[in-house]
Amino acid sequence: MRAERRLRELKRDALMQKVRDLQKRKASSKDKAREEWKRRFLEVKKSTPRLEDHCSKLRQELEKLVKDMLVSVKNDADSKPHKPSKKTSYKIMIMRLLQEVEDLRRRLQSVTIRLNAESKLRAQAEFEVKRLRQDLLHKKTQVTLTRKQTAFPQTSEQFFISAV
């Protein structure tokens, strides 16, 4: 009976050790995935300002070209001795409005992208805080359990007081 119990305890201990190893491997793989994500995120974060600057320079250049084109169309219309036709005036007005609409679209898109990025960063930060709190709670419970075990060591022998 004792041998059977001893074998079961050994088997239980082996299974518990296997569970601990599996948990460590799972935690390790999660940590590796998190670190890989952070590394990629930081790489993209570093390259983003440079690309945004380049994009804004190109956008400004495009806007300058469009404005120059509008000015040249207006000057062509003004160079004629007569007033520009209504058709030309409407074309110029439409071009300006289209340019303004396109500019507003770009601004909206830029703001939307920043909003999405900020919301993702916030969600990631909230997740990290939650995970850190869970880790802290787990470590506190481990410390508490360790203190209790060292304060009141459990012995395998049990003493029974019997009324004699």
- Token duo for residue 149: 């075990």
For 127-154, the pLDDT digits (tens) are 999 999 999 999 999 999 888 888 765 5
Contacts of 67 (CB under 8 A, 6+ apart): 99
For 24-80, the pLDDT digits (tens) are 999 999 999 999 999 998 999 899 889 989 988 998 998 899 888 888 877 776 666
Average pLDDT over residues 6-35: 94
Contact criterion met (CB below 8 Å) for 88 and 77: yes
